[in-house]
Structure 1
Amino acid sequence: MREGLFIKKNIDKWRKYQYETTTDPDEMAQQFTELVNDLGYSKTFYPHSKVTQYLNDLASRIYLDIYKNKREETSRIGRFFRTELPLTVRKHHREILYAFLIFVGFAVMAAFSAAHDETFVRGVLGDGYVEMTEENIAKGDPFGVYKQTNPANMFAYIALNNIYVSFQVFVWGLFLGLGSVYELFINGVMVGSFQYYFFAKGLGWPSVLVIWIHGTLEISAIILSGAAGLIIGNSILFPGSHKRLHSLMQGAKDGLKLMIALVPILIAAAFLEGFVTRYSYSSMPQWVSILILALSFIFIMWYFVWYPIQVQRKAKAEKAVK
């Protein structure tokens, strides 16, 4: 290619890079890569040309800007939770809704079954757990199970176990989403049976104030894990215009982003279960339990429902202005 044609073909791009500077690290890196390619071509065919010196200076400036703005990477986590994750959540609100409906549907079915079959709860929760709980009810401490273990040990065990269960629900989505549906079924039936049992014993409201202190975050995380699994399943079943492998990779990436967000939520739920739930029935004022429960519910609804919609609207508005 003649030098004049080379310059004419790329001059608009170079001027844009020179005069329309950006602070986005990814965009800067892309500009630097393209300039290096152009510089390599120019050095090969026009080693003594002014355009080679120009490209070298321009690439050097962007290179220095990248490292000057390296501190931007320290806010990568903040940007992930403020923008990237909410947009991913908004993109998959449908799967989250489906996971919620599946879980609640199975929980209601389990409660209905327990109401018409006295053996159903024992079949789901096990004779040992039911008998232990009945002994605790007789002692006047129906939720004594939360006091049996040292708080720190209980916190560590529950956190690790809940994270393991959540990722299991997610990974099972590889089986066309059916694995995640099955896990939602198992967990939904357990929660429905468990909650009905206490209502049947006349402990409905106290059980809500005790169990859902940690259960609001924990169960929400299980449902969202199921949604992450459905995202993978849908990416396999409905690749759209993409190749199935590419669609699967994108679905796995989106699902994994959601799972990363659930880790701190599960840790918070484990902390509440280990250190707070044990005191909620016997020595903690009801208003404190209600406050914790309400704040947990508001946070889930805000961050996974309302906030993603707002972030998407803002992104669309900014795009329209540009």
Structure 2
Amino acid sequence: MNAISASASPDTPINAIEIAALRSDRFRIEREADWQRLEAIVVRMEKGRLRRISDEDLLALPGLYRTVASSLSIARETSLDAATLAYLEALVQRAWFVVYGPRSSLAEWLGSFLGGGWSAAVRAIWLDIVVALAVMVAGVAVGWLLVSHDPEWYFSLMSRDMAGARVPGATAQALRATLFGEQERDGLSVFAAQLFSNNAQVSILAFALGFAFGIPTLLLLIHNLALLGAMAWLYHGAGLLTDFAGWICVHGTTELFAILLAGAAGLHIGRALAFPGDRPILEAAAVAGRRAAVVMTGVVLMLVVAALLEGFARQLVDNTFGRFAIGGFMLMLWCAYFFAFRGNARTGTRR
């Protein structure tokens, strides 16, 4: 009797292994039906055979996913056999993509984004756009007034390397040469490349700094547009303001619009943090952040378009009227898309 008891003692290595295997088998047998049912549904959905899935299985899918996820949690805690654990981990991962994963391809997402999602997000932050626009106009006025009272302010706003021949005291002929004759140059001029790089950085920073209640975003917009105001003053003094406006207009209506939207997106987040309303601060910030992220995705696209216009259109079109025509067309195109076009953010079709 003692021998039998000793051989049956649960402390022996052989019995410990047998008990663990029995526990694993029992665990699998009790839940295997749900695992197999979920796997069958996942396989059909992965293969695109949605019509072969019954309504009962579709309704049961979320519950089955939670059941299998719970089984995986128990399996990890009780240290079941490695094969069962690996099977459950793979099944839960596949099921997650079926239940919670993206439902559309890249082409479908792009169609939805351009077909209404982006414009809807821009319209939703209209108040922030108005504020950002007012600040940008004020920035231009500030730059003009500063350099008109003291030309030394010009070099506080723009580095001498970036300015090149565009400096106070330059002759009208020298300034005119910076606006025309660029079709004979290859690629972007040094100044154009620097200006685009600066504006791209401003767009990203204006959005990123919005979390500080939007204050750094406002200051950044004022500083960046003050540079434009200083340059406008410089060309105005040489009687070339209209030509300078045409030079800027080719890409500026797109590039400055992108800065405007980036600044507005940053302000939108800052405003949600400062004035969350009835929502908790984190929830208000999350909602505003998702909407602002959609706007910023489009801002990147606009900056790419601006780079193409700056690199080719402005240098191929060497007259002020043509430049105004291109810039004006782009401005009307953006305004029509954002404020006149009404699309469906889910399907990308007009309503």
Instruction: Name the amino acid aligned to 2:258.
Output: A
Q: Which moved more, 1:82-91 or 1:254-263?
A: 82-91
Residue 146 and residue 234 in structure 1: after superposition, are their counterparts in 2 closer, same or farther (change >3 A)?
farther
Residue 236 and residue 71 in structure 1: after superposition, are their counterparts in 2 closer, same or farther (change >3 A)?
closer
Equivalent residue number for residue 225 of structure 2: 188
Offset at 1:178?
Answer: 0.7
Offset at 1:279?
Answer: 4.5
Offset at 1:78?
Answer: 1.0
Say which SS state the counterpart of residue 166 (structure 2) adopts.
Answer: helix
RMSD of equivalent CA atoms: 3.8
Offset at 1:156?
Answer: 7.6
Cα displacement string for residues 176-223 of structure 1 (whole angstroms, at most 9, x for unaligned residues): 111111111111211111112111111011111112211111111111
- Contact persistence 2:250–2:314 (CA under 8 A): yes
Equivalent residue number for residue 58 of structure 1: none
- Contact persistence 1:125–1:194 (CA under 8 A): no
Equivalent residue number for residue 19 of structure 1: none
Q: Does structure 1 residue 270 correspond to structure 2 residue 307?
A: yes
The one of 153, 170, 178 aligned to 1:120:
153
The one of 314, 317, 325 aligned to 1:291:
325
TM-score when scaled to structure 2? Answer: 0.62
Residue 138 and residue 152 in structure 1: after superposition, are their counterparts in 2 closer, same or farther (change >3 A)?
closer
Residue 286 and residue 152 in structure 1: after superposition, are their counterparts in 2 closer, same or farther (change >3 A)?
closer
Equivalent residue number for residue 258 of structure 1: 295
Equivalent residue number for residue 85 of structure 1: 118
Instruction: Name the amino acid aligned to 1:202.
Output: G
**Which structure 2 residues correspond to residues 1-322 of structure 1 after superposition, within 5 A?**
34-37=59-62, 74-130=107-163, 132-133=165-166, 137-139=172-174, 141-143=177-179, 150-151=186-187, 162-280=199-317, 284-307=318-341, 310-311=342-343
Cα displacement string for residues 203-248 of structure 1 (whole angstroms, at most 9, x for unaligned residues): 0111111122111111111111110100110111112222211211
Offset at 1:123?
Answer: 3.0
- Contact persistence 1:106–1:188 (CA under 8 A): yes
TM-score when scaled to structure 1? Answer: 0.68
CA distance in 1, matches of 2:277, 2:292: 18
Q: Give the structure with the higher percent helix.
A: 1
Instruction: Name the amino acid aligned to 1:292.
Output: I
Q: What is the number of residues matched between the two proteins?
A: 258
Cα displacement string for residues 49-72 of structure 1 (whole angstroms, at most 9, x for unaligned residues): xxxxxxxxxxxxxxxxx9xxx777
- Contact persistence 2:180–2:319 (CA under 8 A): no
Q: Which moved more, 1:131-140 or 1:222-231?
A: 131-140
Structure 2 residue runs without a partner (length 5+) = 1-49, 51-55, 67-98
Residue 78 and residue 161 in structure 1: after superposition, are their counterparts in 2 closer, same or farther (change >3 A)?
farther
Offset at 1:89?
Answer: 1.5
CA distance in 2, matches of 1:210, 1:151: 16
- Contact persistence 1:146–1:274 (CA under 8 A): no
Identity across matched positions, percent: 21
Structure 1 residue runs without a partner (length 5+) = 1-24, 26-30, 42-65
Cα displacement string for residues 28-77 of structure 1 (whole angstroms, at most 9, x for unaligned residues): xxx98753246789xxxxxxxxxxxxxxxxxxxxxxxx9xxx77763221
- Contact persistence 1:159–1:270 (CA under 8 A): yes
CA distance in 2, matches of 1:245, 1:144: 51
- Contact persistence 2:188–2:310 (CA under 8 A): no
Offset at 1:271?
Answer: 1.5
Q: Please identify the structure whose Cα radius of gyration is greater.
A: 2
Offset at 1:133?
Answer: 2.1
Instruction: Name the amino acid aligned to 1:305.
Output: F
Offset at 1:115?
Answer: 2.8
